[in-house]
Amino acid sequence: MEFLSDYGLFLLKAITVVIAILFVVGGVVAVGARNRKPGSEGELSVRKLNDELEDDREQLEDAILSKDELKALDKDKKKEDKARLKAEKKRSKDGLESREVRKRVFVMDFDGDIQASAVDTFRREITAVLTMARPDDEVVVRLESGGGMVHSYGLAASQLKRIRDKGIALTVCVDRVAASGGYMMACIANRIVAAPFAIIGSIGVVAQLPNFSRLLKKHDVDYELFTAGEYKRTVTMFGHNSMKAKDKFQSDLEDTHDLFKAHVKQFRPRIEIEKVATGDIWYGQQAIENKLIDEVGTSDDYIVAACDRADVFGVRYEHRKTLQEKLGISLQKGIESAFTRILTVLSRQQQSKG
């Protein structure tokens, strides 16, 4: 028992040190971000995912197939290329377009925190895509978010609506979670695809804050609040909250919830909104039964299938990182990786004891 006690104390100290280091590293990265000069923020990175998929396939073929099989495969590919060139020549001779215009699919990622911070780069990616996208193209957004601030996610949702307003098909793929503000974004899509155990829903509004008024009163500390306008401030963390203030705050939450429900109903009219707008969450298969999504599947399957019928491009706006930021991020990743390994080992030990 003494060993376990010492080990537990050591683990708590280690976790405290790790958290302190992460805090310092985060500060270094934040300082580097603030010092970034305007006009040198970053650039748009575009990758053709068809080519990456083909490269992966060819590497597997080289590793798995025999020389005779590779030779036969190469022969078949040459036949296909020859037939395609012949068809293009015939079309050109007949006065038709020499090459069929292929549909294009643009893939973007949105990984949302409580402030929806990713919207700053997301809006630039969408703006860039909209300058090139044709009406028969498609935009796919791989979305991961448990929600956060209403106004921040409202702006992020508005960015997706820009795509819909241009008449371009929008698909949102959810592999882990699209809840609350995340679902506020996802519901705008023409089609929502979610993994079997992805968390969907949480159509509700929550707010909470501590109140220190009794503690301040106990220590003879007065808290004075001055406002102009009856509802400039309703509830507060430091003063006494009257029932009228609480009722007003609750009324504001209800109004926000009503707006949220109307938003979802506008883009998902088949949903029984009062049934699902309880703040509850559902997993993928349950979500499709409640018409919150359209299909159960992963983003990987959807994008691989898209590569068979279209030219698929991954679009990402990347900030140029200073040396200070690069060092900070590398250190942070190393510490996080070590911390994750420690937790994994502890989890396995607990499982083995069971």
Separation CA 183–CA 292 (nearest Å): 9
The torsion defined by the Cα of 332, 337, 339 and 343, in degrees rounded to 10, comes to: 150
Residue 232: active-site member: yes
Q: Tokens 């009406």 identify what position? A: 135
Q: Output the six-digit token pair for 230.
A: 């009856």
- Write out the chain in H/E/C secondary structure: CHHHHHHHHHHHHHHHHHHHHHHHHHHHHHHHHHCCCCCCCEEEEEEEHHHHHHHHHHHHHHHHCCHHHHHHHHHHHHHHHHHHHHHHHHHHHCCCCCCCCCCEEEEEEEEECCCCCCHHHHHHHHHHHHCCCCCCCEEEEEEEECCCCHHHHHHHHHHHHHHHHCCCEEEEEECCEEECHHHHHHCCCCEEEECCCCEEECCCCCCCCCCCHHHHHHCCCCCCCCCCCCCCCCCCCCCCCCHHHHHHHHHHHHHHHHHHHHHHHHHCCCCCHHHHCCCCEEEHHHHHHCCCCCEECCHHHHHHHHHHHCEEEEEEEEECCCHHHHHHHHHHHHHHHHHHHHHHHHHHHHHHHC
Instruction: Give the active site residue among 93, 218, 232, 353.
Output: 232
301 residue type, one letter: D
Residue 82: active-site member: no
Annotated catalytic residues are 180, 232
